[in-house]
Amino acid sequence: MVSKPQSYTRVAPVVAREIRDALAVVQAMHALAVRAAVPRLTGDDLARMRAANDAFVRALDAEDPAAAVAADDALHAVPIVACGNEALAETIRRYTPLLRRLERRRFSSAAARASAARHDALIDACAAGDTETAVALSGAIWGGLEAEAAAEEEAAGTGAARDGTPARTAGS
């Protein structure tokens, strides 16, 4: 959706470059949130993250990608709230909708199990106060969507390279 207050709202086509750009921003913001949050996380925060990951696994078992997305959001919301940076939170809220199709695709595949394992490792690193490991894991979690973006581009025939330039095809 694209909207201009008091002017228009319309459905916009999703462009591969926009998705990749949004993914880079969301990935960086989550890493920043984790970096700031690790020293502030409480036992209750960690319990909420564990409960959310348990719900994530149940959603995967039920083959319910919508519930998996909701549980994933709940898990990642904990460090976002704990870091206390509203500009960061707003940036994530703004760009995450562009990634929903990628998340649903990932959470509908066998690759989703790797996300659950990374979530466990992230929670363990946060609990241990290991900020650098937690930040690296956050990057790996969100970086996992890069493969989904590439697969979607290929399926759509856009063939865009990582830098957004069109890929060369045979004979071009």
In-domain check, residue 127: yes
Tally of domains in the chain:
1
In-domain check, residue 3: no
- pLDDT tops 90 at residue 159: no
In-domain check, residue 9: no
In-domain check, residue 86: yes
- pLDDT tops 90 at residue 9: no
Query: What pLDDT, on a 0 to 100 scale, did the predictor assign at position 161?
Result: 45
- pLDDT tops 80 at residue 12: no
In-domain check, residue 161: no
SS (H, E, C) the chain: CEEECCCEEECCCCCHHHHHHHHHHHHHHHHHHHHHHHHHCCHHHHHHHHHHHHHHHHHHHCCCHHHHHHHHHHHHHHHHHHHCCHHHHHHHHHHHHHHHHHHHHHHCCCCHHHHHHHHHHHHHHHHCCCHHHHHHHHHHHHHCHHHHHHHHHHHHCCCECCCCCECCCCCC
- pLDDT tops 70 at residue 123: yes
Is residue 58 within 8 Å of residue 66, measured between CB atoms? no
Query: What pLDDT, on a 0 to 100 scale, did the predictor assign at position 17?
Result: 84
What's this model's pTM, rounded to 2 decimal places? 0.80
In-domain check, residue 160: no
Greater confidence (112 vs 158) lies with 112
Cα–Cα distance, 121 to 148 (Å, whole number): 22
15-30 pLDDT tens trace: 688 899 999 999 999 9
Cα–Cα distance, 19 to 25 (Å, whole number): 10
- pLDDT tops 70 at residue 169: no
| Domain at 49, CATH number | 1.20.120.530
34-87 pLDDT tens trace: 999 999 999 999 999 999 999 999 999 999 999 999 999 999 999 999 999 999
- pLDDT tops 70 at residue 164: no
What is the identity of the amino acid at 162?
Answer: R
Percentage of residues in the chain having pLDDT higher than 70: 83
- Residue corresponding to tokens 């209750």: 44
Residue 117: domain span: 15-149
In-domain check, residue 84: yes
Average pLDDT over residues 95-104: 91
In-domain check, residue 159: no
